[in-house]
Structure 1
Amino acid sequence: MSKETYQWLEKELPSWVQEGIVTDEGAQVLLRRYVGEKTSSRSSGIAFSLLGFALVGLGIISLLAYNWDALGHLERTLFAIVLLVGAQTFSFFVKRYKPNNTALLEGSGIFWFLMMGASLAIIGQTYHLGGTVFDFLSIWLLLSFGIAWLLPSSGAAFLQIFLWTVVWISHRSDLSTLLEMNTDSFLSTWALLGIMLCWLGYYVWQLRTAKNANGTLLLSWGLAISLFLVFLVEILTQTRAMPHLRSMVNYFALFFALYYMAGMLYLSHGEKTWQRPFERIGKFGALFLVLTQVSFRARMWLDGADSMIQAPSQMGWLAISLIVLFVALLVLFLQKVKKVPAEVLVILTPVIFLIYTQLQSHHEVSALASMLFINASLLLGASWMIVCGAKEGRLGLINQGMILIALTVWIHFMDAKFDLVAKGVAFIVTGVLFLVINAFVRRKLRASV
């Protein structure tokens, strides 16, 4: 929604409430629903507010660190109390007297979060309370998880999810064994899950009340990155005893397809790339995964890595969970779209890799057959993108399909035993053809409009 449209809606809603067209609560929901698209200047104001408060907090921490040796126990304790109480007082002042100033609410939440961590660090270092850095992070997480709800502040919730991610990853006993160091947290697994549920509750509330707000988009990016990091750790711990690369490829294919469909169905906040975190991460990851396997050298690499390792005989809970989620989201996605989607290659990446790895695992099947299958799947998927882009008048989709085909050709060309001059000429010719086709498509689309 443009700035002008939002202002028009803001002026019209009071009369709609008086005429009984919408209730007062419904009018407030509508305003919150589109508040994230009100104006680009407001978006930049929130961003600069978040950055400003974060820099102030980090600056205070740096000054304390520089003068640490010159401060006595009493001064350090007073500083810790002043920082924490001052940040809390400022946050509640903003909540009480500036409740509609989103930039101040978000910034004060970040400032409170950082000052709480600084105060805990000062007290711990002053009185030598002991414990590891992961104990400090766990206490910080435990004491700060209510900040997002109290203000509310999506900026504080964003920082909290990353803090939770670090604590959760460090809490994995398998990871502690793998790193040969004590990274465990005194918080139990159930306590960490409870904190995560509180954060998810805040996130769902933001999705329902202000889905297109910039704060909600920030939370989506935090969740997308956090889940990806947790997934990587789970893959390491699940396959540590039997690190079979073909199984790991299937895991990643499922994960990226789930990300893409979840983003398309529920977790997008606009049409721009930066407004669709789950969809973009899922698409990029799936396409990158396919492109890494189109070279004929990929099979030799996988065979060499897995030659001495037997494939797992049964699926773990992670694989079963991913498959169930994939089937459920696929059914919901097909019900919504009701046609073959343009980016079917991304959605069917798990199916493609399942067949691909099965072909590779059977020695009676030639290496050529599996490589032809993965290459044909990529070319068909890219061609379908171009066809759908031409039908729908979407130049970006056409370019995406053309880039995939060009990358496939270049990968095979680099595998061939040609000298650098031949490869350079081939790149120039391909680039010129790409530009010519792009210009031709642009002209056709303009003519059709």
Structure 2
Amino acid sequence: MSILREITELLNAGIIDQTTADRIHDYYSKKKGTSTNRLFLAFGILGAILVGLGIILIIAHNWDELSRSTKTLFAFLPLLAGQGLCFYSLIKKQHNEAWKESSAAFLFFAVGASISLVSQVYNIPGELSSYLLTWMLLCFPLIYVMKSSIVSLLYLIGITYYAAEVGYMSRFTSESYLYWLLLSLELPHYYYLYKYKANSNFMVFHNWLFPLSMVIVLGTVAYKMEELMFIAYCSLFGLMYLLGDTSFFSIKKLRNNGYKIIGSLGTIVLLIILSFEWFWVELISNDLQLNKVVVSPEFITSLIITLLAGGLLYLNQKGKSLKVMKPLAPVFLIFIFIFILGLKSPIAIILVNLCVFMIGILTIRDGAKENSLGILNFGLLIITVLIICRFFDTDLSFVFRGILFVLVGAGFFVANYLMLNKRKTNE
């Protein structure tokens, strides 16, 4: 690194002493070693996956020419090889993360390949969902036996695919609820990463995949009262935003905070969609009976998520003034009030648009307070999107619409100009 070459010059100039130079050298040497280990780990995992897929392709090319016994042997060969590699890693390379992660990744795909090949050889019928469930259950112990984070990520992708297959591709079935149990089985490993590897890349990937997985699967709960899922999703996005705003996540770089990004974007996108008239017209026309609503899976799901989000909002705001509350934090509660009004009155459309507009204004204010161009422009973007939506949704004249766009564009320019001038003045 260039700083290591500058140490001698700084030492000769008397800026630092020999002790400080040695400490700087040791620090960057260790940092370089850590980067090398991460690179080796990444290429090790990628290599194991490619080798496994390559073996499967070679066998598949000559598959029709093989006898049944030979096919069975090849079906179990990758599985045995993967188990051997994992056993070797546990005994001889137990402190080598690259070996453990690579061998676990290889065995993960070997299990899936073996199940598929055996089913094909002996003509065992079955659906994709049952295949995915069997695969994930067989590979789940690898997460804890090998302490493998790559298998944890692959398992998370697998159970998400399973839940989507059961919940979206098939007719409604209670099997989709099994996803939440499968997800909970992974929580101890997630906590382990949080406790001991909070700054690792694997922790960052989990912070993105966990919320994405839940967003994808939550819709499988919908049955007969799909309208209530808007409350469930709004509360879920609120829960994610609040989780991303806790002390653990808020100190991290924004790109590593999947909960906050997904929660904030999800909330805004949902409100923008509901700022159109079609949803509220349809909602008023539906006759939702209270005795059926309270026992529906959509209502129970919405209630549970809202209570969790409400509890987290209370903990985040405990002992703090309402003035420091972030604009997006209480939106899920406000939306429930708007939704209830929308069951009887079209005023809900106005309230949703007003809510989006106020979020944009308050976000701009926060950006100005924190001297953050990113937050400032996010608030301006919210208002711009809202205006664009109303451009196609109203009967305003083209002149008036044009004036609105000019004002918004000028607002972007002026706000950024003032912010940059403020930064220069402070410097």
TM-score, normalised with respect to structure 1: 0.77
Residue number in structure 2 paired with 1:228 = 215
Letter in 1 for 2:376: I
Q: 1:325 to 1:374 in 2, by over 3 A?
A: same
Letter in 2 for 1:413: F
Residue number in structure 1 paired with 2:75 = 80
Is 2:73 the counterpart of 1:70?
no
Residue number in structure 2 paired with 1:310 = 287
Q: 1:217 to 1:337 in 2, by over 3 A?
A: farther
Is 2:353 the counterpart of 1:375?
yes
Is 2:397 the counterpart of 1:402?
no
Residue number in structure 2 paired with 1:177 = 171
Query: Residue 427 of structure 1: CA displacement?
Result: 4.4
Letter in 1 for 2:270: L
Identical-pair percentage: 24
Letter in 1 for 2:186: W
Alignment partner of 2:171: what SS?
helix
Residue number in structure 2 paired with 1:286 = 267
Is 2:336 the counterpart of 1:361?
no
Query: Residue 200 of structure 1: CA displacement?
Result: 1.4
Question: How far apart, CA to CA, are the structure 1 residues paired with 2:74 and 2:24?
Answer: 48
Query: Residue 308 of structure 1: CA displacement?
Result: 4.3
Q: 1:126 aligns with which of 121, 130, 133?
A: 121
Residue number in structure 1 paired with 2:16 = none
Unaligned 5+ segments in structure 2 are 5-19
Residue number in structure 1 paired with 2:244 = 263
Query: Residue 85 of structure 1: CA displacement?
Result: 1.4
Question: How far apart, CA to CA, are the structure 1 residues paired with 2:125 and 2:83?
Answer: 26
Residue number in structure 2 paired with 1:241 = 224
Q: Is the 8 A contact 1:268 1:277 kept in 2?
A: no
Residue number in structure 2 paired with 1:201 = 188
Question: How far apart, CA to CA, are the structure 2 residues paired with 1:408 and 1:135?
Answer: 44
Give CA deviations for 1:170-207 in whole Å, capped at 9, x if unaligned: 566x984349xxx969xx95xx7665443211111221
Question: How far apart, CA to CA, are the structure 2 residues paired with 1:382 and 1:195?
Answer: 38
Alignment partner of 1:219: what SS?
helix
Query: Residue 63 of structure 1: CA displacement?
Result: 2.9
Q: Is the 8 A contact 2:112 2:135 kept in 1?
A: yes
Q: Is the 8 A contact 2:75 2:118 kept in 1?
A: yes
Letter in 2 for 1:386: I
Question: How far apart, CA to CA, are the structure 2 residues paired with 1:79 and 1:336?
Answer: 64
Q: 1:93 aligns with which of 88, 91, 107?
A: 88
Query: Residue 411 of structure 1: CA displacement?
Result: 2.5
Give CA deviations for 1:203-252 in whole Å, capped at 9, x if unaligned: 11221111121112222323222222221111x2xxx2233x3x332222
Q: 1:302 to 1:397 in 2, by over 3 A?
A: same
Q: 1:45 to 1:277 in 2, by over 3 A?
A: farther
Q: 1:446 aligns with which of 414, 424, 427?
A: 424
Q: Is the 8 A contact 1:269 1:275 kept in 2?
A: no
Alignment partner of 1:177: what SS?
coil
Is 2:337 the counterpart of 1:343?
no
Query: Residue 334 of structure 1: CA displacement?
Result: 0.6
Residue number in structure 1 paired with 2:203 = 216
Letter in 2 for 1:318: T
Query: Residue 405 of structure 1: CA displacement?
Result: 2.0
Q: Is the 8 A contact 1:46 1:102 kept in 2?
A: yes
Residue number in structure 2 paired with 1:19 = none
Q: 1:47 to 1:307 in 2, by over 3 A?
A: same
Query: Residue 76 of structure 1: CA displacement?
Result: 1.6
Q: Is the 8 A contact 1:257 1:286 kept in 2?
A: yes
Q: Is the 8 A contact 2:317 2:325 kept in 1?
A: no
Letter in 2 for 1:142: L
Query: Residue 329 of structure 1: CA displacement?
Result: 0.6
Residue number in structure 1 paired with 2:11 = none
Query: Residue 105 of structure 1: CA displacement?
Result: 2.6
Residue number in structure 1 paired with 2:302 = 319
Give CA deviations for 1:61-118 in whole Å, capped at 9, x if unaligned: 2333332212222222222232111112223333443344433332222111001111
Aligned residues: 401
Residue number in structure 2 paired with 1:143 = 138
Query: Residue 38 of structure 1: CA displacement?
Result: 8.3
Question: How far apart, CA to CA, are the structure 1 residues paired with 2:148 and 2:319?
Answer: 33
Alignment partner of 2:198: what SS?
coil
Letter in 2 for 1:265: T
RMSD: 3.6
Q: 1:305 to 1:377 in 2, by over 3 A?
A: closer
Unaligned 5+ segments in structure 1 are 13-30
Q: 1:441 to 1:41 in 2, by over 3 A?
A: farther
Is 2:419 the counterpart of 1:437?
no
Q: 1:41 to 1:283 in 2, by over 3 A?
A: farther
Give CA deviations for 1:118-154 in whole Å, capped at 9, x if unaligned: 1121122112233333332222122211111122210
Give CA deviations for 1:367-406 in whole Å, capped at 9, x if unaligned: 4x43443333223322222222222222211111121122
Give the stretch that moved more between structures: 272-281 or 376-385. Answer: 376-385
Query: Residue 270 of structure 1: CA displacement?
Result: 5.8
